[in-house]
Amino acid sequence: MQRIFILFFFLVTGLQATAYDIFVDRKGTLKADYIISHADSLFYYTPRPGLSSGKHVVWVRIIVNNLNDRSQFKYISFDNPVIYKADFYYYEDSVLKHDQYGFGYKQKTKLQVTNIDEFRVNVPGQGKVEVFVRVEPRYISVYSYEIKQLGEMIMWKDRKFYATFVFIFFVAILIFFSVFLMRIFPERKVFLAYILFLISTIFTSTGMTGYYRPFSGLANPVQLTEIFVTTSLMSCLYLLRPYFKLKESFPRADKLLYYTLAYMALSLVPQLFFFSYQTDYFVKHFVFIPSMIIFTGLTFYLVSQKVRYSIPVAVVFFISTITSVTLNIAFLGYIHLGYWVQYYQFSLVIIMVALFLIAFLQSRDKQVVEMAAASLSKLITNKTHMLAKFGSWYMELPSNKLWVSDEMYSIYGVEKKNTPDVNAFVEKVHEEDKDRIIKVWSALADNEQDPRMEYRVRQTDGSIRYISASWVISYNEHGGAKRATGYVQDITERVLAEEEKSAISSELIQRNQVLEEFSYSVSHNLRSPLANILGLCDMIERKMKDGKLDLVPVKMLTDSSRRLDSILRDLNTLLNYDKKLNVLKTPLQLDDVAKETWEIYREKCEFLGGHFTWDFNGTGLVHLVKPYMDNIFQNMLSNSLKYSRPGIAPVIHFSGRLNEGMLQLEFRDNGLGIDLDANRSKLFGLYQRFNPKAAEGNGLGLYLIRLQVEKMKGQIDVQSELNAGTTFFINLPV
Amino acid sequence: MHDITIILADDDEINNYLSVSVIGEFVAAGQIFAFTSPGQAVMEAKRICVDQPSQRFVFFIDINMPEFSGWEMVRQLKSQPGFDFKEKDRIYILSSSINPADRVTAVNEISVTGFVEKPLTISMMEGLLT
Residue A381 neighbours by CB under 8 Å, 6+ apart: none
Chain A residue numbers with beta carbons less than 8 Å from the beta carbon of B117 are: 531
Give tens-digit pLDDT for A414-460: 888 888 888 888 888 988 888 888 888 888 777 777 888 899 998 88
Number of Cα atoms under 13 Å in the Cβ half of residue A333: 4
- The pLDDT assigned to B25 comes to 82
Is A520 close to B119, i.e. CB distance below 8 A? no
More confident residue, A299 or A597: A597
pLDDT at A385: 87
Burial A509-533 (b: 16+ CB within 10 A, else e): eeeeeeeeebebbbebbbbbbbbbb
Q: Give one DSSP letter per residue of A193-228, joined into a string.
A: HHHHHHHHHHHHHHHTTSSS-TTTTSS-HHHHHHHH
Say if CB A476 and CB A482 are below 8 A apart. yes
Average pLDDT, chain A: 66
Confidence band (pLDDT; 50, 70, 90) for A697? low
Contacts with A, B 80-119, CB within 8 Å: 95-99, 101, 117-119
B28 touches chain A (CB under 8 A): no
Residue type, B9: A
The rounded percent of chain A whose pLDDT value lies above 70 is 49
Residue A613, H or E segment: strand A611-615
3-state helix, strand, coil in chain A (%, to 5): 55, 15, 30
Average pLDDT (B57-62) is: 90
Q: CB B15 to CB A531 under 8 A?
A: yes
Q: Is the pLDDT of residue A642 over 50?
A: yes
Q: What is the pLDDT of residues A102-111, one digit of tens each?
A: 333 333 333 3
Crossing angle for the helix pair A701-711 and A626-642, to the nearest 10 degrees: 150
Pairwise CB contact (< 8 Å): A527 & B96: yes
**CA–CA dist A47, A60 (Å, integer):** 14
**What single string gives the DSSP state of each residue in A356-392?**
HHHHHHHHHHHHHHHHHHHHHHHHHHHHHHHHHTEEE
Closest CA to A339 of A708, A18, A15: A18
Cα distances (Å, whole numbers) of residue A240 to A17, A67, A356, A601: 20, 45, 8, 113
Q: How far is B54 from chain A (nearest CA, A)?
A: 31
Chain A residues 631-690 with a CB less than 8 Å from chain B: 678, 687, 689-690
Please tell me the distance from the alpha carbon of residue B61 to that of residue B72, in angstroms, as a whole number: 10
Q: State the smallest CA–CA distance between residue A548 and chain B in angstroms.
A: 13
Mean pLDDT of A229-247: 63
Closest chain B C-alpha to A550 CA, distance in angstroms = 13
Task: Name chain A contacts of B101, Cβ cutoff 8 Å.
Answer: 520
Q: In whole angstroms, give the CA distance from residue A666 to residue A79.
A: 139
| Cβ-nearest to A695 among B11, B99, B101 | B11
Contact flag B18-A530 (C-beta cutoff 8 Å): no
Subunit contact B119:A538, Cβ cutoff 8 A: yes
pLDDT band at A497 (very low <50, low <70, confident <90, very high): very high
**In B77-112, which positions are buried (b, 16+ CB within 10 angstroms) versus exposed (e)?**
beeeeebeeeeebbbbbbbbbebeebbebbeeebeb
Q: What is the chain B residue with the closest CA to A537? A: B18
Judged against a pLDDT cut of 90, whether residue A138 lies above it is answered with no
Instruction: Tell me which residue of A497, A475, A493, A495 sits closest to A484, measured CA to CA.
Output: A475
Identify which has the larger pLDDT, A666 or A9. A666
Mean pLDDT of A197-209: 50
Pairing label, strands A715-721, A58-64? unpaired
pLDDT band at A727; cut points 50, 70, 90: very high
Which is it for strands A401-404 and A390-396: parallel, antiparallel or unpaired? Answer: antiparallel
Chain A closest CA to B7's CA: distance in Å? 18
Cβ distance A542 to B118 less than 8 Å, yes or no, reads no
- pLDDT confidence bin for A384, thresholds 50/70/90: confident
Q: Which amino acid is at A317?
A: F
Contacts of A537 in chain B (CB under 8 A): none
Nearest CB to A536; choose among B11, B18, B65? B18
- CB A409, CB A425: distance < 8 Å: no
Residue A522 has a pLDDT of 78
How far is C-alpha A651 from the chain's CA centre?
Answer: 85
Which of the two residues, A97 and A338, has the higher pLDDT score? A338
Residue-level pLDDT at A653: 94
Q: Does B17 touch chain A (CB under 8 A)?
A: yes
Contact between A556 and B101 using a beta-carbon 8 Å cutoff: no
Q: Which residues contact A263 (CB under 8 A, 6 or more apart)?
A: A287, A291
Residue A666: which pLDDT band, with cuts at 50, 70 and 90? very high
* Interface contact flag, B11 A527, Cβ < 8 Å: no
B64 touches chain A (CB under 8 A): yes
> Out of B12, B66, B96, whose CB is closest to A691?
B66
Q: For A527, which of B39, B101, B118 is closest by C-beta distance?
A: B118
> Helix (H, G, I), strand (E, B), or coil: what is residue A132?
strand
Nearest chain B Cα distance for residue A692, angstroms: 5
Assess whether pLDDT exceeds 50 at residue A89.
Answer: no
Sign of the Cα pseudo-torsion (A154, A157, A159, A163, in order)? positive
Strands (E), A476-548: 481-490
Chain A positions touching B96 (Cβ under 8 A) are 524, 527-528, 530-531
Minimum CA–CA partner of A528 in chain B: B96
- On the question of pLDDT at B127 being above 90, the answer is no
> Which residues in chain B are closer than 8 Å to A689, comparing Cβ atoms?
11, 64, 66
Contacts of A536 in chain B (CB under 8 A): 14, 18, 119
**Cβ partners under 8 Å of residue A713, min gap 6:** A732, A733
CATH number of the domain located at residue range(s) B4-96 in this protein? 3.40.50.2300
- Burial label for A223, CB within 10 Å (0-12, 13-18, 19+), is buried
Q: Are A316 and A354 in contact (CB under 8 A)?
A: yes
Choice between B103 and A302, residue whose per-residue pLDDT is larger: B103
Residue A225 has pLDDT above 60, yes or no: no
Interface check A591 vs B, CB under 8 A:
no
Are A115 and A84 contacting, i.e. CB atoms less than 8 angstroms apart? yes
**What global pTM score does this model have?**
0.42
Locate all alpha helices (DSSP H) within A274-335, ordered by sequence. Answer: 277-282, 289-304, 310-332
- Which pLDDT does position A18 carry in this prediction? 43
Q: Does B12 touch chain A (CB under 8 A)?
A: yes
CB A26 within 8 A of CB A211: no
What confidence tier does A513 reach under pLDDT thresholds 50, 70, 90?
Answer: confident
Q: Please give the C-alpha separations between residue A53 and each of A277, A513, A536, A618, A655, in angstroms, as whole numbers.
A: 18, 127, 155, 149, 151
CA angle A25, A81, A143 (to 5 degrees): 85
Which residue of chain A comes nearest to B121, CA vs CA? A535
Where do the domains of chain B lie? Answer: 4-96
Q: Do A535 and B22 touch (CB under 8 A)?
A: yes
CA distance A341 to A512: 99
Do residue B98 and residue A523 have CB atoms under 8 angstroms apart? yes
Are A532 and B22 in contact (CB < 8 Å)? no
The alpha carbon of residue B90 is apart from the nearest alpha carbon of chain A, in Å, by: 22
**More confident call, A35 vs A374:** A374
ipTM of the complex as predicted: 0.85
Q: Contact, A223 vs A280, CB < 8 A?
A: yes
Nearest to B128 by CA among B55, B28, B27: B27
The number of beta carbons lying within 10 Å of the beta carbon of residue A626 is 15
CB contact under 8 A, B96 and A524: yes
pLDDT in tens, B40-54: 899 888 888 888 888
Work out the burial of residue A63: count CB atoms within 10 Å of its CB; fewer than 13 is exposed, 13-18 middle, 19 or more buried.
middle
Q: Is the predicted pLDDT of residue A328 greater than 60, yes or no? A: no
| Greatest CA separation for chain B | 38
- With CA atoms as reference, the chain A residue closest to B101 would be A520
C-alpha distance from residue B125 to each of A86, A514, A603, B26, B98 (Å): 155, 35, 47, 7, 20
- Cβ–Cβ below 8 Å for B18 and A532: yes
Helix (H) or strand (E) holding A716: strand A715-721
Interface contact B14, partner A, CB < 8 A: yes
User: What is the structure's pLDDT at A235?
Assistant: 66
Ranges A188-197, A633-642, A684-693: which has the least confidence: A188-197
A&B contacts, CB < 8 Å: 77
The dihedral built from the CA positions of residue A395, A396, A398 and A402, taken in this order, carries a sign that is negative
* A695 with B36: Cβ contact below 8 A: yes
**Range scoring the smallest mean pLDDT among A44-53, A79-88, A170-179, A662-671:** A79-88
Average pLDDT for B85-100 = 83
* A562 vs B: CB within 8 A: no
Give how far Cα A252 sits from Cα of A257, A265, A295, Å.
9, 20, 14
C-alpha to C-alpha distance for A658 and A645, rounded to whole angstroms: 32
Å between B73 CA and nearest CA of chain A: 14
Interface test with A, best of B26, B118, B122, B125 (most A CBs within 10 A): B118
Helix (H, G, I), strand (E, B) or coil at A238: helix
Nearest CA in chain B to A534: B119
Q: What is the pLDDT of residue B70?
A: 87
Task: Pick A532's closest partner by Cβ from B14, B25, B67.
Answer: B14
pLDDT for residue A396:
85
Cβ atoms of A28 and A61 closer than 8 Å = no
Q: Cβ–Cβ of B118/A535 closer than 8 Å?
A: yes
DSSP for A414-467? Answer: PPP-SS--HHHHHHHB-HHHHHHHHHHHHTTT-TTS-SEEEEEEE-TTS-EEEE
| A194 pLDDT above the threshold of 70 | no
Sheet-wide strand order for B31-35: B31-35, B4-9, B56-61, B90-95, B114-117
Contact indicator for A339, A137 with CB cutoff of 8 Å: yes
Contacts of A677 in chain B (CB under 8 A): none
SS3 content of chain B, % helix, strand, coil (to 5): 40, 20, 35
Q: Which amino acid is at A190?
A: V
